[in-house]
Structure 1
């Protein structure tokens, strides 16, 4: 199995699960994000983990072909860029950014987008259809 197909399976399933969680547990997730934004140590820890995941994806799979592989590459770059931005932003700016994004509409859009991309990647990764 190629690395791209393996990552399509892993990233696809992750996106489906997280997208469904965002849609089904939207209110709970909004409370979690609000509380998380108050804890600098937790923010740092999450960002360092996100940085490692983003670096791993970018180094292992930096493929800019115009097919499913580019989605995996973009996910890796988004993880990496978000982690670096959050680690470098002043805390005041970070909390404003989080409060701006912590809205029902963002969870709906993000959840549906994640599920759609996840279904697409999972279909390719597992050769379902």
Structure 2
């Protein structure tokens, strides 16, 4: 349980900051995403970093239970898989990312999902 709380305390604030930035500065976020997708080295290095973080989470927190802790496990697996995809298939990442940028509602929905997950992690990490 301590690992779950630690990871919730670590991930929650970062997700909250990212979600709030996406909500309050959508055009800036879109511009940054376009620049990111135009840089294969950034896609690659972000894949390495995200995969490392995801693997660390999965190795130390592979908890499959029917409570909030499964969110941390799922985020770890999603980071591991997402990082691998960035490393192995950067052109697919660019194509999928461009499709999302072209749909403003996708970014809005994504930011709201991140906001909800961040609030849940912050609650269980700091207040529960």
Unaligned runs of 5+ in 1: none
Higher relative contact order (CA 8 A, sep 6+): 1
Ranges of 4+ aligned residues in structure 1 off by more than 4 Å:
none
Alignment of 1:66-105 (within 5 A): 66-89=66-89, 91=91, 93-102=92-101, 103-105=103-105
RMSD: 1.5
TM-score, reference length from structure 1: 0.91
- The aligned residue for residue 25 of structure 2 is 25
Q: What is the Cα deviation at residue 54 of structure 1?
A: 0.7
CA separation of 1:48 and 1:115: change in aligned 2, threshold 3 A: same
1:101-128 Cα distance to aligned partner (Å, 9 max, x none):
2231122111111111111111111125
- The aligned residue for residue 41 of structure 2 is 41
TM-score, reference length from structure 2: 0.91
Q: What is the Cα deviation at residue 90 of structure 1?
A: 5.3
